[in-house]
Chains A and B, each alone.
Chain A
Amino acid sequence: MGRKILFVTTDQQRYDTLGCNGGKLSRTPVIDALAAEGIRYERAVPQSVVCMPSRSTMITGQYPSTHGVWMNGVPLPVDAPSVAELLQQNGYQTALIGKAHFEPFLDPFGRFVENTLAATGEPTAQNRWYDGSIGDHRGFSHLEFATHGAAGPWHYTRWLLENHPECAGMYYSAIDNLFNVNAAGGGDANSPQVKKNEIEREWYHTDWVANRTINWLDTLENDDDWFCWMSFPDPHHPWDPPESEMGRIDWRDVPLPEGYLGSRDEREKAIDAKPRHWRMWYDGQLVSNYEAPAKWVPATLTEDQVREINARNAVECELIDEALGRVLAAIEQKGWTDDVDIIFTTDHGELQGDFGLMFKGPYHVDALMRLPLVWRPAPSTTPTQAVVTKPVELLDLAPTFCAIAGIAPAEWMQGQALPVDDDDASKRGFERALTEWDSELFGVGVYLRTITRDQWVCTAYLPGYVHDGTEGELYNLAEDPLQTNNLWEDRDYQSVRADLVADLWDHQPPVHEPRLELEAPV
């Protein structure tokens, strides 16, 4: 019998939403306790700041350029490499419960496996694997899907409609009637993507994901090795947690985030120091990607809206923490705790008021790129508590699962198992993290390549719709943690910039051929 793996992901969660990372708003005692027993990473960096490419990186252990999912709406091929296939081949029981999003959601032709599974009633489908064999879909023998509400063809929607149909309409409609991300406001402050949701807490998707995870664990034998990816759709917008839980935090008491800066003038000055698509989006002059409401203008964001959204986001984080606590209690009840590795992270961050912005896009700053990551190794391995300050990547998760399972990482993996402390990180060369952005929406192309190294984050812009390829961003994270001072053009930092840019281009990964097509907006 080997070690069991509980891989917990959330969607669009900031680093500073956890108590163990210094967060003050949401209470996250369960995750904080895992960090206190294990390893907390202070500079975990995604390889993309949107869902599909980032999740594809988690499962393949590859950069977006290599796995080919360059933006939301580009499906990960069913025969792409998958760490779950490796684990299953090595005797692991495997499940993914919650949000997958390896394939586009908007799928009227029913072309994508993950959109059709709930209707078949089958726990998985048979597909070609990367090694040419036929096996369970992406290596998971059990799949149950949910996303940010009660729309779509997934298991949670079906469950809600069958058991509590009156609740389906209580959720905010994430997409409007023109198939755009909905800009409609709600709540007390008319905040975008906010709605007071009267659904019972027990029927909300966060608790459903935990319930279904516990239900799957109940099907296993004591001596089974297992890998369970428990994937919560929150705290991604819409921000419509059960209204019964909103008494936890009065949004009027929520402090404005540091990144919101002091005044409109300061925010606009910081934005104006960045490449111009920042200001164009802020003023409503440019929509470069589908992920934020096309009809919403960031400059209209009010202080009350920031407070209200952050309160709701914090409640969603608390519900996740409590749901995880229930799953851990179920594992404890089975007597498995000592042999279970738990890894908690997310796919990317959320602007959440920084610079007066919300949602996400081609903005490679900490709001989107500094992620919560905690690894509590199985207590039977007598782990040492540590904080890792060196940069690590979501790319490193797949080889970490292999290391936990005692199997060699696959040759197609581009990362390495997560370091257990800074010494380990230094010895094994954890020096830099790379992040990519490629978007093309109705003729607007934006292309960024970013390196995070030492105390620097440096983004080089490729030619696109509003960029000529000379633009960039350079921030000193040690001296400018809010990334308000863009040093890209500063004469005093040209050697730093040149060194980082050279390192960035020296470490670009192989590119997937042929280029995969955008099949849907998301």
Chain B
Amino acid sequence: MNKPLTRDELAKKVAADISPGSYVNLGIGQPTKVADYLRPEQNITLHTENGMLGMGPEAQDSQVDEDLINAGKIPVTETPGASYFHHADSFAMMRGGHLDVCVLGAFQVSARGDLANWSTGSPDSIPAVGGAMDLAVGAKAVFVMMSLFAKDGTAKIVPDLTYPVTGLGCVTRIYTDHGVFLLSGSGASSTLILHEAFGLPAEEIAARLDVEVQLDHKLGSSAEAHFQSPVQPV
């Protein structure tokens, strides 16, 4: 029996599933970790929505330049071949379908691929959206990284969002500590497929979700749920 994935293992898995040569935007928070596991030979170009392609690692000490920050306002570095552009261009390249992948955190994802990640809906919170809604609709593939279950044990893959919507039908894959889910189709005809299971038998994962889940035929029986080969990279 394997174990649930740690955050680093999950980041490594997401990184491995990104096709060589992709243009990628990593959201703030957990998705940022994916950058640590991208291999140089993948030749991934990172986009940051505040106006840069070719973003490098976080700046250290003397590298810190307050004019060179990422979307989380953390000082970063530039890589050879980097470019700068203004905000309208930055979001045009996102909205225009030029980015291959964006990786986002989430509070909830519905079985139809609806995403909630910008607001808890708490009445006393100060709302802030940033680029969340643009990222949700803007990339060719939208990967979500999150824990499968909330602290209270409820599943974060839900029939219908109870948190405020960020984007409808936009998520294509969900990477969680207990499994990788693929979404195919859209709207009422969409299907949610459990592609890999970690730490729990696939049937048990499916049973704990209040949504219809198809088990990938490669998953095998619950007794031998195991690491699968990566899904075809996008």
Partners in one complex: no
